[in-house]
A and B are shown apart, each in its own frame.
Chain A
Amino acid sequence: MSELDKNPEAATDDVPPEAQEDPLYFAWEPKEGASAHIQSFKAAPEFQEPLGYPGELVDNWKEVALAKMEELRGKFRSFRLFLDICVKCGACTDKCHYYMGTSDPKNMPVGRQDLLRSVYRRYFTLPGKWFPQLVGARELTEDVLEEWYTYYFQCSECRRCSVYCPYGIDTAEITMAAREILDSVGIGMKYTNEIIGKVFKVGNNLGLPKPALQSTLEDLEDEIEEDTGVRVRLPLDEPADILLVTPSADFFAEPHIDGLIGYAKVFHATGAKWTLSSYASEAANFAMFIGSYENMRRIALRIRKAAIDLGVKRIIIGECGHAWRAAYQFLNTLAGPFDFLDPNYPVPQHICEYTWEAIQKGLLKFDKSQNDHLKVTFHDSCNVARASRMGDYPGGQFEIPRNIIKAVCNHFYEMPEDTIKEATLCCGGGGGLLTDDLMELRKKGGSPRMKALKQATEEYGVNKMAAICAICKTQFSKIMPMFGYGMDDIMSLHQLVSNAIILPGSEQEKELMEAEAENAGENAGEGEA
């Protein structure tokens, strides 16, 4: 057991002075309204309309919202059931990192659900219609909409709560529905909705057009050649066997880009014919965050079309948590069937599945000592951990990335047991919250993870954290400096691979061979003597 679960009831109302300075202190007592002031920017009409939503609050918002709620409870069993069966047992109350970080009871998973459940009860259940006070039912008002907007954008849809609920109630499902209802009356979030619009227009979240992409990839090829002496290709829109769809941050930001270099080296070393697509130049699917199946599908279909146009046999997804969920759980459902691809491979595959398979087949050669200066831990990203799988057995999503790390690093350590794998803590920036206007929330929501990392640092001297999620990487490089780490102490998993891989014909291979020859010589010398 770590500090996190030790005696949550012990804390008292008056926060001790050290707590006020220590961002890692958790007060377990609810403090009402503690994060009521944190609200993300709302979307202007120009960001709402391309997604099919009204630009501003519609006049008959109440009817529209209730009609939407009725529609959603007919379309999603999860939504209907979860609103009905919560028994208010409280098991989830201390499981949300935003509650841990803010102490606001509306950030307790059940507290968050109740914001919507109270309205649902008032309009859709008998006891709520007859005895609203008794069952905590309330009218839908503009204040309620405002409260929804505040707190449903303080949930990263990480599903940690669903692990601990005796009925598997997943607050993320309620959050997605709430965001869809808000969007349908004209209240949208700027960050998510603007980005989705960019994907529709340009093909990726960052709005990188094809020429920019092309030149970035060429620069990377030069960079790799400089480092290794080998020309490793990063093909764009070329006919190939494998279509790689990766979060666009991989083209652009640190430490993501080192991950992309890692994938390219792995593909090169395995001799694969692969390509990126400028049309589907984004693995992220922010429409999942706002619970919009229509928009999610529109984005997913881009991958389908790119696969058809480029005539590939397989689709592989780069390092990204929610994108992997969108691909794993939704791509087939929304844009399938993919019967035109090679049936010997699952659709889609994760880049880690590909790399691990290559390692197992002995196709990759590593010099692990290249990572000897690092003491690495691994951050399980929520969506990978709790909403997907890798390999063909449950839990492969935990083992495969760790197996890869252990294959390329000598020093790997775990963070505390109750903060990894299915119990992993969100980075604090998932679910569409990775925007500067939510910085306070991101810091507070990330603090439980930082606390776990600190424990690993104190115990084993861990100095780097690897992750396989674009959002995690961006979030951590932003908040880690606030907790005494460097912004580059977060790494891409494939950056570790990239460091250690020995490409055939590379400088590294030559060096290694020379070193080996020297060793052999020495050994031989000893033998003679």
Chain B
Amino acid sequence: MLTVLYALLYYVAAIIFVVGVAKRVWEYWKTPQPAVIPTTPAPVTRTGVVWRMFKEVAFFESLWKSNKWIWIFAMMFHLSLWLIIIRHLRYFLDPVPTLIVLAQPFGKYAGFFFVLGALGLLARRMFVPRIRYISNPSDYLMLLLFLGIGLSGLGMTFVSKTDIVGVKAFFLGLMTFNWQPLPTDLPVLVHLGLVALFLIIFPFSKLVHAPGVFFSPTRNMVDNPREKFRPVPWLPPVDEVQYDPPHGS
């Protein structure tokens, strides 16, 4: 029964996540950016822009300039998230690639930093008046969701060991449409339930910052408005316009 429920939940969540994110990306892709508005000083070449964007997504360059505390917690949070995701690939791949095997120990302990990062961000949200002012209930809930995912995950790894082989069989079964029973201890159910929730809300929430940042015109544009002519797509071409008449003098 639970297996069926979770199996369906994951199909739905996966579809919503993929279709939702694809739709978002499509919207950003097709919406024009009528003027060249990088925040300057900005690179004057494509390669330069790739480098700027790399520094932004890998090292949070702007955040570093802005606020070291947020930077530390955000870095901790996102880096561990990557390690955790890489480590989790082992539940979807058989045989497990060596690289992921190597990442295993790091991925395991990254869970602690993930929780620590989320706690730091939560503390800032609660105790810095400026940030408290701009926070909506959804902003707190989002962090609580991550804490829930992190803590239940740590619980499975370090407190009461779960039947990982069973979990892996369940997910491999999902992918090959050959369902296998899901181990039903509470931490697994909580963990997987929250992750599914995360996938579902992703495309509708601020979480789209992840794909969105790549479309940010102040970061991804080459600074060349003088060198390259780019007309505004929704204005008539210049030879069709009327000039203001000269003023009498």
Residues on A facing B (Cβ under 8 Å):
9, 28-30, 32, 73-78, 80-82, 84-95, 105, 108, 110-111, 114, 125-127, 131, 133-136, 159, 162-170, 173, 200-203, 209-211, 278-279, 293-294, 297-298, 301-302, 304-305, 328-330, 332-337, 346-348, 385-389, 392-395, 397-398, 422-423
Contact indicator B225/A332 (Cβ below 8 Å): yes
Contact indicator B31/A167 (Cβ below 8 Å): no
Residues of A within 8 A of B31 (CB): 73-77, 80-81
User: Could you list 18 A-B pairs, sorted by A, with CB under 8 Å?
Assistant: A73-B31, A74-B31, A77-B33, A77-B217, A81-B212, A84-B209, A90-B128, A162-B218, A164-B63, A164-B67, A170-B37, A294-B235, A333-B36, A333-B225, A334-B232, A337-B229, A348-B226, A397-B40
CA distance A200 to B242 in the complex (A): 13
- CB of B158 within 8 Å of the partner chain: no
Name the residue of chain B whose CB is nearest to the CB of A82.
Answer: B216
- Residue count of chain B within 8 Å CB distance of chain A: 71
Residues of A within 8 A of B128 (CB): 9, 90
- CB of B97 within 8 Å of the partner chain: no
Interchain Cβ contacts within 8 Å, total number: 240
- Which of the candidate stretches B129-137, B147-155, B173-181, B190-198 sits at the interface with the other chain? B129-137
Contact indicator B40/A293 (Cβ below 8 Å): no
Known interface pairs A134-B136, A293-B235; A394-B41 also in contact (CB < 8 Å): yes
Residues of A within 8 A of B63 (CB): 89, 91, 164, 166
Partner among B39, B136, B231 whose Cβ is within 8 Å of the Cβ of A168? B39
Contact indicator B204/A125 (Cβ below 8 Å): yes
Contact indicator A336/B34 (Cβ below 8 Å): no
- CB of B101 within 8 Å of the partner chain: no
In residues 148-168 of chain B, which contact A (Cβ within 8 Å)? none
Known interface pairs A90-B131, A301-B241; A293-B34 also in contact (CB < 8 Å): yes
Residues of A within 8 A of B33 (CB): 76-78
Name the residue of chain B whose CB is nearest to the CB of A166.
Answer: B63
For the A-B complex with A293-B232, A298-B244, A348-B226 known, give 19 more contacts whose Cβ atoms are closer than 8 Å. Answer: A77-B32, A81-B217, A85-B212, A89-B70, A91-B67, A95-B66, A111-B133, A135-B137, A135-B138, A164-B62, A166-B62, A170-B37, A200-B244, A210-B249, A211-B249, A301-B238, A301-B241, A332-B226, A387-B40
Residues of A within 8 A of B130 (CB): 28-30, 90, 93-94, 105, 108
Nearest chain A CB to B239's CB is how many angstroms away?
10
CA distance A105 to B31 in the complex (A): 31
Residues of A within 8 A of B244 (CB): 200, 298, 301-302
Contact indicator A88/B139 (Cβ below 8 Å): yes
CA distance A343 to B247 in the complex (A): 31
Contact indicator B39/A163 (Cβ below 8 Å): yes
Contact indicator A168/B62 (Cβ below 8 Å): yes
Contact indicator B44/A392 (Cβ below 8 Å): yes
Nearest chain B CB to A407's CB is how many angstroms away?
22
